[in-house]
Amino acid sequence: MKLDFTRWLPAIAKDRRTALGIAGVAALGGLAFGPAAVAAPVTTGPHQGARAAIDLATGKSRQGVTVESGLTTGSPTTKVPAGKPSTDELIPHGLEGAQSRVPLDDAQVANAKAIIAEAKRTGVGERGAVIGVATSLQESKLYNLGHLGAYNDHDSQGLFQQRPSSGWGSPEQITDPRYASRAFFSALKNVPGWEDLPLTTAAQTVQVSAYPYAYAQWEQQAADLVQQHW
């Protein structure tokens, strides 16, 4: 199978900035159009071609994605470590529906840390970091993806599947996790009242995905990552 996918998957990862290797699970459900775009109409279903391409490249199947119903962050008996954001700061509006979760390798954790670091630098805070990590979990499963060849979703690349043709930056820029994260947070800050919006609304306004409700399923895992690495 690897001999097959290397023909159409020439650049699935970009050195340390992507840190993909050929491990992990990925499933693309969104498409980042441009920093100033408006919300797209709602459709259903994942991007089948890109999802299959990444599954083949990583050598894993969708069975690595689990769904957890009724999951909430923290509990009355959970003590938040000193200096870490609280559940109320991370998920102020509560979770929207059932939550999905994927196991993460070192590359994915490193990319999550990069997003969190840029959230601090750009001033969007803990909540912005949760939105950013959840968005990347949906778009690329926290893998910094290169061009997927025939299976690419237009010219989308990187952690947030941003498109050079829509003004997000050059392929080299959007496959730099720091640049891609800054670009995402800059666009997020231009969304009026983003701090008070549900995660899926805030993310969708930036990403203009064909599957706008897909982001919410990653809010719990994103919050866990932010709490751990803030």
Report the predicted TM-score, pTM, of the whole model to 2 decimal places. 0.73
Q: Which of 69-78, 98-107, 115-124 has the lowest mean pLDDT?
A: 69-78
For the stretch 160-175, pLDDT in tens is 999 999 999 999 999 9
Domain boundaries, the chain: 2-229
More confident residue, 46 or 212: 212
51-55 CB contacts, 8 Å cutoff, 24+ apart: 51/26, 51/27, 52/151, 53/5, 53/8, 53/9, 53/148, 53/149, 53/151, 54/12, 54/26, 54/27, 54/28, 54/141, 54/143, 54/145, 54/148, 55/25, 55/26, 55/27
pLDDT digits (tens, 9 = 90+) for 178-214: 999 999 999 999 999 999 999 999 999 999 988 888 9
Confidence band of 151 (pLDDT split at 50, 70, 90):
low
